[in-house]
Each structure stands twice: as C-alpha cells, then as structure tokens.
Amino acid sequence: MNLKNKKIVITYGTYDMLHEGHLKLLKRAKALGDYLIVGVTDENYDRSRGKLNVSQSTQERVDAVKALDFVDKVIVEKHKKQKAEDMVKYDVDIFAIGDDWIGAFDYLNKYTHVEYLPRTEGISSTQLRKKHIGLIKMGLVGLGRDTQAFVDEAAYVSSIKLNRIYADDFLAIKKFSKENPSIEYGHDNYEDFLDTHVQAVYIDTALKRHYTLIKKALEAGKHVLCENPIAMEKKELKELLSLAKKQKVLLLPALKTAFMPAFNQLLKEIEKGDIGEIKEVRATRTSLYREKNYPESFIAQGATNILSGYPSLLIHKVLGKRKSTTFFDQGDDGYDTSNLIVTTHKNGTVGVARVATGAKSEGDAVISGTKGYVYIPAPWWLTKEFYFKFEDSHKSYKFKYEFEGCGLRYMIAEFASLIQRGKHTSQTLSPSDIVAISRVALEYKDFREQRAENDTKEK
C-alpha cells in the first residue's frame, strides 16, 4: 500500500485474550485515519511495567491482532521509549489510546496528535482470565529461608492460589499458617499433601531432599518449582527431567534472575553485537550467611551448591556450552566456603565465576568484548541497570529498569503462565539450560570426591 497522503494511526496494547472491548477500541482507532498500526507489547516489557498475569504469549497475541482484517500492520513494543521512536519511524499522524490513560501520553504530542478514545465498559482481559482459565492451586513444600518471600510475592500473581503447606514439623506449620492466613491447610505427611487438589508445588528444603521430593511430586502429576540445584547427582538430574517430560508437567529451578525483565533485556542487547566478539564473562556471587544468622546446616551445603547457579546462568546464557571446568576452592569442615570456577567455551572464550559464603567480594559482573564491555553493578543477579562501555567514553550508554518486590514475582508469573498455556518447558530456562547450569555444582561434587580419593591413596 502506498502510504503517501494517507493518514497513519498507531495504537498499543497487550491484547491478552482479544475480546470485544479490544475490537471496538481498535475499530475506533482505524476510523481516525486510513492505515492502522498496532503495537503488541512484548512479554518481557509487560512484566517490566508490572503486568504479571498475561495468559497468552507474545506470538499468540500478535497472531490474534494480525488476523483482524482492518489492522494494516502489527509491530512488537519492547521498551518504554519505543512509542516516540515509532512516531518518527512511521511518520504517524495520530496516536490513539484508551481514555483510562488520559494525560499519561500528552508528552507524545510533540511527535504527533494524541487522541484518547472511550473504552467499552464491563469487559476486560482480567475478567475473562478469571472466567475461562481459573486459578492454579499451589502448595508449599518445606519451610526454608525463601518460603515467606515466596508467599509474599505470589500474592501479586492473580492466577495463583497458594493455600497449602507440607513440612515435617507440624508446630512450625501451625505457626506459619497463623502468620499467613492464606495458608488454610497444613500437612506433615507428604503423600497426603500430594493427594490433594494442588496442581503445582514450590519446594524450599535442604538440598539433599530435593530429588526425593521432586520425584514424588512429578509422579503425582504436579508441576514443580524448586530452589536450585534440583538434584545433587547427574543421574538424578537426568531422571527428573525425563520424568517431567513423561508426565507432561513443568519442572523449573527457582533461579529468579533468569526471569527478571532487565536480565532478559540485557541478553537481547548483547546479541546486537555492540561490544564486538565476546571473549570473557566474569560474575561474582557471595553472601556471609553466618552474619545473617543462617543455620550451620545450610552453610554446610557449600558455597558452590548454594550460589554457583547464578553466575553459571549468566555465563551459560552468554557463552553457551562449556568445554572444560576448573575449580580453585577453599574450605574446611568438609565443604567449600569459596570457589573460583573457570570454564572454557567455544572459540576460546572464558567464564570466571566467584562464589563464597566465607569471604565477601563485590557482587558485580563484566562481559568483555573486542569493542567494549558490559558492566552490571552489584547485586548483578537482581539486575536493575547495566552499562555498555567503550574506549571512547562518549559512545557509552546505559539501561535502567525497576522491579517490584524482591524479584520473585516475575519467576512465579512465568511459572503460572506456562502452566496456563499448557507448556511443559520454558524458553527462558530450557531443559538444556537447566542441565548446563546444574552441572557446574555436580562436577564440583565429582571433583571433591576424586581429590579425596587421591589424598587417601597418597597417605
């Protein structure tokens, strides 16, 4: 279509579960001109602005809008500055948006005319989700250090109903339930707990219990979100992933960093190649748990087991499959209190992960390339901002995001969304990602056992 002398109208929205209200608003927008462009918000951008309960994927929503015969072009909105960029790029005459946003987009009048349109009363995507999708019934397994935070954050994901808990200590269950009225039922028998109508579970227990608890939940047909690592043996990890696939349920490690909007935007920006060919990724994650009054039983699980999943996530996502792993650990009493983990990858690239529970370091990360580098300030695993830096400092730029709460809600929202869509794996944290990230800790276990065997032989 020749757009010369045509009046171009643009509008934006999530368009989850495309309904009559969306259609009427889009038709009103089209009536303002000759050519209608519709911007459908990307999943990651939706979450960055607090929309956690979108039930359909970006592609499903794009396809639904594309199918409308009066829509001329569909684009994907990925960041908050894109509207102004699109006004210029498409030479837009009118920006149309619902009147519930009156005044919010007046700043765009310097690029085009902003028109606020009346919305249809009495219908919304939220209402449709409640009517047609329903709530995901979810239970807690264990009373770990993150359980309370999980309950607090799950309250922001409207598709989750969290009302049951299992733990060995019934008195502790009663105390926790009293402090959290949404938890209506407590169980000190795991089989009884799994025999209820819960569809999914969140596991927060000692690491050595993960395998058994996950296996029983998967066998019962429950979706599982479990603190990382999900297994302490290679064969156990393989078995659990195979069982989840067989049972057609979702199994995810609770690595919240993987689901944070800023972290995912970071990965997309790196793919553009502005810093050239990437040569090295360094990431540090340390925490002095004794100063936080964590029990010795927790600390004795070892720094690598507790913390390596985070730097391993970043290194794997940027550099890909590992070729070799070398450990430089320190520790006493049979577990490591710090570890420097050096991995090699394709084309001679190197990953350097530093983890510690007995030493404190700056928790930042650096991704080094041939043209520049990306710096993620501490705490990098709670990604809020990152900087692209170059030899010529005038070329440097930064990205800054905010996230709500402690960041867990984005992970919970992704978990719930996948279940609602009938998905048994996550593109954000795929089974191959899980294996690659988990194997660092698993290989360290083999390394310690081999070293102990060699020491015994030498004696």
Give domain limits for the chain.
8-126, 135-255, 261-402+429-456
How does pLDDT run along the chain (459 residues), one tens digit per residue? 567 789 999 999 999 988 888 999 999 999 999 999 999 999 888 887 777 778 888 999 999 999 999 999 999 999 888 999 999 999 999 999 998 889 989 999 999 999 999 877 666 555 555 555 568 999 999 998 889 999 999 999 988 999 999 999 989 999 999 999 999 999 999 999 999 999 999 999 999 999 999 999 999 999 999 999 999 999 999 999 999 999 999 999 999 999 999 999 999 999 999 999 999 999 999 999 999 988 898 999 999 999 999 999 999 999 999 999 999 999 877 899 999 999 999 999 999 999 999 999 999 999 999 999 999 999 999 999 999 999 999 999 998 887 778 889 999 999 999 998 899 999 999 999 999 999 999 999 889 888 888 877 776
Query: Tokens for 186?
Result: 């407590």
CA angle 313, 325, 339 (to 5 degrees): 75
By the 8 A CB rule, do 71 and 62 touch?
A: no
**3-class DSSP assignment, residue 431:** helix
Report the distance separating Cα 254 and Cα 364, nearest Å: 21
Q: What is the pLDDT of residue 257?
A: 96
Within 13 A of 318's CA, how many CA atoms are on the CB side?
Answer: 35
Beta pairing, strands 397-400 & 385-390 = antiparallel
Strand segments (E) across 14-61: 35-41
Residue 227: name the closest of 255, 201, 251, 200 by CA: 255
Report the distance separating Cα 343 and Cα 325, nearest Å: 4
CATH for 261-402+429-456 is: 3.30.360.10
Residue 144: name the closest of 192, 193, 237, 209 by CA: 209
Write phi, then psi, for 267 (nearest 5 degrees). Answer: -60, -40
Q: How many CB atoms lie within 10 A of CB 280?
A: 18
Helices (H), 339-430: 408-420
Query: Tokens for 449?
Result: 């056992």
Domain 135-255 fold is Rossmann fold (3.40.50)
Identical fold, 8-126 and 135-255: yes
Report the distance separating Cα 353 and Cα 355, nearest Å: 7
Q: Which CATH number fits domain 8-126: 3.40.710.10, 2.60.40.2470, 3.30.365.10, 3.40.50.620?
A: 3.40.50.620
pTM for the complete prediction?
A: 0.81
Q: What is the pLDDT of residue 133?
A: 57
Q: What is the pLDDT of residue 335?
A: 92
DSSP H or E segment with residue 132 = helix 125-132
Find the radius of gyration of the CA atoms of the chain: 25
Within 13 A of 301's CA, how many CA atoms are on the CB side?
Answer: 22
Overall size of the chain counted in residues: 459
DSSP H or E segment with residue 235 = helix 234-247
CA angle 392, 396, 398 (to 5 degrees): 170
